[in-house]
Structure 1
Amino acid sequence: MMEKENIPVYNLFINPKSLMELKKDIWANKSVTGKINIHNKKHDIDVIYRGFYVRELKKKSYHIHFYKPSTWEGAKELHLNAEYKDHSFIRNKLSFDFFSSIGVMTPSAEHVFLVLNGKKEGVYLQLESVDEYYFQKRGIPVHSIFYAVDGDANFSLMSEYDNAPKKSLGMGYEIKYGKDEECSILEEFIFKTNTLLREEFEQEIGNYIDVEKYLLWLAGAVCTQNYDGFVQNYALCRNGEAGLFEILPWDYDGTWGRDVHGEIMEYDFVRIDGFNTLSARMLDVPSFRNLYYKNLLQILNSQFTVDFMKPRIQELHTTLRPFVLKDPYKKDYIEQFDMEPEFICKSITDRNNYLRSELKKRGFS
């Protein structure tokens, strides 16, 4: 057991034969049984590798499903992200905290130290699953939850991959929760997004999606430069008393100056208006566009600043450092870990200056 624990230690147990089954075919979406000890309480679970390209990495990420007890702290599932390509370990967590600060609903996230069958696996980010339990915990009614799993979740009539008409307007999405008719509501929303005239769009699109919340999410994605996040890596949820769609961010490790492979992302890589068909339609309406630019300027003055973010960056770095030194996959990269806070702060400065210059061209300063 580690001394002076500042982050929880999770002990995961998987029968060696079951673990061999997982390793034999990392792409098989077949779970195995296991147990996990959290805060000195044991839980029976199903476990599977999670993610796409990250499954090929040495340090695996895991998707945990509780079945005895059936929930843990009100959650049915949780995700343990290895954050292997992010030498800072904090980009996902930092992104979700930033989104929360600007008024966007996000999954909760906290760092843990994972031990698998007695072997240290290192620092992980525990992510809350966006499902019906997520909304139950917050007392919010939810009608449907869709995961944007690939680039066809672009709100377009056309496929992202072959520029041909989609065979179904639900392409790019997997339904996580909701009745069958919810798929028809999603398809109707996407169809209206593409076919309404500008004046009709301004008047009617608010019957399907919370426009103000969407524009806040867009501002957050533009600030952090999550390139994939405009057409995938989000949850689209129809919730609340009004039953409007709302986007929740997901998988934001390729942010704050680095892409998903950990390479440098230039400060002007993502344009100020982002992209996807819904964003283009929104920003084609003067009233929506003005609201977006005003929101973005406010964020650039308040939350997306070094003054606001640096204390959070430093606190996370200080807390994690002793545990990174015990991470068998990352301890040899401690020098880069120590350089990342300064790198992230510089990326904020450069991105902030770029977005301000773009706003000034549009008459906002």
Structure 2
Amino acid sequence: MKFRPVATIVVCACVALLIIGITTYMSQDTENEHATGEASISVVDNTEKIIENVFPKDKVVDVKITIDEDDFQSMMDNASAEEVKTASVDYNGIHYDNIGVRTKGNLSLRSVVSMDDSDRYSLKLSFDEYLSSQTLYGISKINLNNNYSDASYMREYLTYELAEQMGLPTPGYSFVNVYVNDKLWGFYLAVQQVDEQYLESNFGNSYGALYKAEMMGTGSDLVWIDDKISSYSGLAMKSESSNGDILIDMINELNNGTNIEKYLDVEEALKYITLQVVTNNTDSYIGSNKQNYYLYEDDGIFKVLPWDYNMAFGGLGKSSLLIDEPTQGALAERPLVAKLLEVDEYKEKYHEMIQNATEGYLSSATFKERVTQVSDMISSYVKADPSAFYTYEEYETGVKQLIQTNDSQVSNMNQQLDGTIASSGDGSGSGFDMGGFDKAGGGMGGRGMGGGQMPTANGTDGDYAVAAITPPDGKEAGGVAPTGEAGQGGGFNRGQGGGFPGGGQGRSPGFPGGGGFGGNQANSAPQGTMKDVIITLVALVVLGLSCVFVLLYKRKRI
């Protein structure tokens, strides 16, 4: 067997390229796994990396979005459509191309849309929008929440922290500075979507049926309607697979049976109810909108998962709740509360959970210390926030009001627990939200990204109406806005009747790609990652090497 000299050179070159390609590939897979955010096979490893690199609690991380200027402007101009745009993202130094980004929200989205000069929308980052295998340590989506109606910036953060202490399955969360095309856009709270990674880390599986309670539709109050899954449109399915029979069985048993533990994790449900009550969060199951929770079916048993807490600590204006009748509307219309508290054993556990919270995390000294720690960590970022809804002075006031509101609520609950004041009424519930959004640091008062005050809004929720207020003159927001000048933003006070400012329900996000979750795919063609390029290069080298052998190989005749 003989080779021409040139063939020998070509073969050696191809082999060298092959070795280089394989070495580079392996190097990326091992040494640079941390920098690429690639998910590990181990859920424990992913969870540790997420805590350290994605949702650290001791610092603020940068989230830098790079997006075509026209696409970004279109997204801002048509925010209600929640159109997905393609972007690159550097998340705490971990770079990704081909990320889906869109506006998100319900009340907050529609409210910012109705502002004249604020584009401070909450955003959703979808790592797997175009490449189904692309995740951030297993996380498919992260929400960047705009801290709407929270002058303190920390109601949601603190509520999730309390949820963790109570042992509830809690999504990852942390404060972030959001940049758009190298300009500081705003100081936000990042919250992990309830996705496969969340389910795997909390339950050890992600194959169960997942439902999200939404304001639009029927059945999110879990009141029995009939045995047709279509009758419960307020429980939006968020997984590809479903088990409608078990959901119907659970709702039937909750309303009409005596063995709810067969279908429901009662202790976790009690913890969920406790969390809403001790933080006075009526933008939840106990409120008039009956929303902002998930149901996850884990091997036939449903878990109640917490979600969305920017309106906690009286954010909707309610000063206190009856702990044994905390619902807005008749107690019987919320069977998850009514039926569980009918059982003495469950009611006793529930009261113990409330007491543990009021004597622990929410106790006056402990809560004040924690709020002060968080304020020390974030205050400089709040001051530099170019798109803030509030001035820095209003932030400082909001922090003080948050502490005061908690002290008042804790005192009231403790008196109900010891029997000094009533803990229940005539079955009609705790009434509807009272007072204005400005309670406890609420309200949209403060500065938006530009001039103009919030117009009076009429809606259809039947919970409360939103009206405009003008913030005090002569106050300037900290920082410089990426576009335009900071001016007066709108404010919210509660009016009579009505509901939220206009606009329909946004699309429900899915989970494109991967184990059991479905979602919407955008039309844009995906681009390859560096790993894809390396794999292609190696394949081409091997193909070239094969061609060399075919063309230049000479066989001796026998």
Q: Name the TM-score, length of structure 1 as normaliser.
A: 0.86
Corresponding residue for 1:162?
none
Residue pair 1:81, 1:124 contacting (<8 A) in 2 also:
yes
Change in 2 beyond 3 A, CA 1:137/1:295: closer
Map of 1:163-174 to 2, 5 A cutoff? Answer: 168-174=230-236
1:288 lines up with 2:346 in the alignment: yes
Change in 2 beyond 3 A, CA 1:305/1:319: same
Unaligned runs of 5+ in 2: 1-57, 113-117, 328-333, 424-558
Residue pair 1:294, 1:364 contacting (<8 A) in 2 also:
no
Moved more, 166-175 or 33-42: 166-175
Change in 2 beyond 3 A, CA 1:21/1:149: same
Distance 1:332 1:362 in 2: 39
RMSD over aligned CA atoms reads 2.6
Residue pair 2:254, 2:260 contacting (<8 A) in 1 also:
yes
2:379 to 307, 314, 321: 321
1:16 to 69, 77, 91: 69
1:340 positional shift? 2.4
1:25 positional shift? 2.4
1:167 positional shift? 8.3
Corresponding residue for 1:52?
106
Change in 2 beyond 3 A, CA 1:128/1:157: same
Residue pair 1:65, 1:77 contacting (<8 A) in 2 also:
yes
1:169 positional shift? 4.1
Distance 1:363 1:340 in 2: 29
Change in 2 beyond 3 A, CA 1:364/1:290: farther
1:38 lines up with 2:96 in the alignment: no
Distance 1:252 1:128 in 2: 13
Unaligned runs of 5+ in 1: 160-164, 260-264
Distance 1:86 1:333 in 2: 12
Change in 2 beyond 3 A, CA 1:352/1:166: farther
Corresponding residue for 2:246?
185
1:138 positional shift? 4.4
Corresponding residue for 1:262?
none
* Secondary structure of the structure 2 residue equivalent to 1:245: strand
* Secondary structure of the structure 2 residue equivalent to 1:146: strand
Distance 1:169 1:358 in 2: 38
Corresponding residue for 1:233?
292
Residue pair 1:216, 1:295 contacting (<8 A) in 2 also:
yes
1:247 to 287, 290, 304: 304
1:205 lines up with 2:260 in the alignment: yes
Map of 1:343-362 to 2, 5 A cutoff? Answer: 343-361=401-419
Distance 1:20 1:329 in 2: 16
Q: Number of paired residues?
A: 342
1:157 to 200, 203, 224: 224
Q: Supply the AA of the counterpart residue of 1:267.
A: S
- Kindly name which structure, 1 or 2, has the bigger radius of gyration based on alpha carbons: 2
1:24 positional shift? 3.5
Moved more, 119-128 or 242-251: 242-251
Distance 1:121 1:33 in 2: 18
1:267 lines up with 2:267 in the alignment: no
1:84 positional shift? 2.9
The C-alpha deviation readout for 1:319-365, integer Å capped at 9, x for no partner, is 11111111112286111111223212211211111112222239999
1:301 positional shift? 2.0
Corresponding residue for 2:163?
99
1:148 to 213, 216, 238: 213
Residue pair 1:227, 1:270 contacting (<8 A) in 2 also:
no
* Secondary structure of the structure 2 residue equivalent to 1:174: strand
Corresponding residue for 1:113?
177
Residue pair 1:107, 1:127 contacting (<8 A) in 2 also:
yes
1:191 positional shift? 2.1
1:305 to 358, 363, 378: 363
1:293 positional shift? 1.6
1:32 positional shift? 1.3
Distance 1:321 1:134 in 2: 30
Change in 2 beyond 3 A, CA 1:270/1:117: farther
Q: Name the TM-score, length of structure 2 as normaliser.
A: 0.57
Distance 1:169 1:274 in 2: 26
1:65 positional shift? 0.6
Residue pair 2:124, 2:143 contacting (<8 A) in 1 also:
yes
1:294 positional shift? 2.5
1:64 positional shift? 0.8
1:168 positional shift? 3.5
1:134 lines up with 2:198 in the alignment: yes
1:312 positional shift? 1.8
